[in-house]
Amino acid sequence: MLILTRRIGETVVVGDDVFITILGIKGNQIRLGFDALTIFQFIAKKSI
């Protein structure tokens, strides 16, 4: 597992065409923005 530390406004690039941006942090939750140059399917998985 890769663990990264990012700040609000910073972006992580996955591959050549998926950009994940940290939009906000509130308590123990974060808001992520996903932007892709191609169409992709996103499946959210909830951890227990």
Parse the chain into domains and list their residue ranges.
1-40
The pLDDT, as a whole number, for residue 48 is 63
The pair of structure tokens assigned to 16 is 């050549």
CB distance 22 to 10 below 8 Å: yes
The pLDDT, as a whole number, for residue 45 is 74
Q: Whole-angstrom distance between the N-terminal and C-terminal Cα of the chain?
A: 17
Mind listing the pLDDT tens digit for each residue in 4-40? 999 999 999 998 889 999 999 999 999 999 998 877 7
